[in-house]
Amino acid sequence: MLSVRPATPADLPALELLIRRSVRELSVGFYDARQIESGLRYVFGADTQLIADGTYFVVCDAHGTLAAAGGWSRRRTLYGGDQAKLGPDNLLDPAHEAARIRAFFVSPDFARQGLGRRLFTHCRDAARAEGFGALELMATLPGVPLYRALGFEALAPGDATLPDGVVLPMVRMRVVIRAL
């Protein structure tokens, strides 16, 4: 049985392992090895602000093993872990701005079992309860099919040029979750 619960600081070591394994194994065919490793160094990682805000969740099996993680945010940052932060993470205005869907990662052992959809539903409902009418995210290429299936529409390519010069193609996406 898999259960969803809020992530805690004690989950950080397991989250980092989950993120690395997820990116290295599930990004093959979408990104080359250089893009994967550069993304792990500069972009993909835990965002402790989400954990502190109580908006980041983990899916665990009966033994407590992390199967997936993901969250939403009422803050302006669109993507990236702690290593990508550039300054204060200001709050969004739910009356005029879209909440963020952030940092979804699934263990390859649990891929394609509906965990991303389950996490998304949990996040969407929480953001809606706080008055947000839309969600935005910066999707990695492996995530685009999931987000399209969840009703997101592509807004624009969002290629990130990382500090080592590697370009990481991504797509900015949005979905309305209730009429504004």
Domain extent at residue 125: 3-78+90-176
Q: Does 66 map to a domain?
A: yes
Q: Does 83 map to a domain?
A: no
Q: Is the pTM of this model over 0.85?
A: yes
Instruction: List, for residues 107-162, the tens digit of each pLDDT value.
Output: 999 999 999 999 999 999 999 999 999 999 999 999 999 999 999 999 999 899 99
Contact call for residues 106 and 116 (beta carbons, < 8 A): yes
Mean pLDDT of the chain: 95
Looking at the 3D structure of the chain, how many domains does it have?
1
Q: Does 34 map to a domain?
A: yes
pLDDT confidence of residue 121: 96
Residues 6+ apart with CB under 8 A from 50: 7, 56, 71, 73, 102, 103
Gap between the Cα atoms of 165 and 150, Å rounded: 32
Q: Does 65 map to a domain?
A: yes
CATH number for the domain harbouring residue 74 = 3.40.630.30
Q: Does 150 map to a domain?
A: yes
Gap between the Cα atoms of 32 and 53, Å rounded: 34
Contact call for residues 105 and 133 (beta carbons, < 8 A): no
Nearest CA to 44 out of 96, 95, 84, 98 is that of 84
Q: Is 106 helix (H, G, I), strand (E, B) or coil?
A: strand
pLDDT band at 88 (very low <50, low <70, confident <90, very high): confident
